[in-house]
Amino acid sequence: MRSASVGNLARAALLVLASTGAVMANGTTPATETITGVFLGPGVECPQFRLEDGEQISLTGPVPEAEIGSRLVLSGHWAAISFCMQGRTFRVVAPETETNR
């Protein structure tokens, strides 16, 4: 029983860390990047997104409501840790624009 509660506590800590803005060990925030791709819909834990190079990633943060297949341009940074369980995770800071399909 103890291991289950420790696992739940670790998962809760990851949720808090992934849902807040990242701060690096030296007190700075990571550089903001812009990515473009196609919204794939829900994943196991986080929305899924396919980058222009074909890589499928997970999204956290203020992900815009979008239809599956919508092309999006998003600003944010790559998460150092994530609970998403599917590929790398991009923490959205702000959606830039939605482009045509």
Per-residue pLDDT of the chain (101 residues; tens, 9 = 90+): 555 555 555 555 444 444 445 555 556 677 899 999 999 999 999 999 999 999 999 999 999 999 999 999 999 999 999 999 999 999 999 887 666 55
- Can you give the pLDDT at residue 30? 76
Of all residues in the chain, what percent are helix, strand and coil, respectively (each to 5)?
20, 35, 45
Pick the CATH number of 2-99 from 3.40.50.261, 3.40.50.720, 2.40.50.500, 1.10.150.120: 2.40.50.500
8 A C-beta contact, residue 91 and residue 77: yes
Q: In a 10 Å sphere around its CB, with 0-12 CB exposed, 13-18 middle and 19+ buried, how is residue 9 labelled?
A: exposed
Query: In one letter, which amino acid is 6?
Result: V
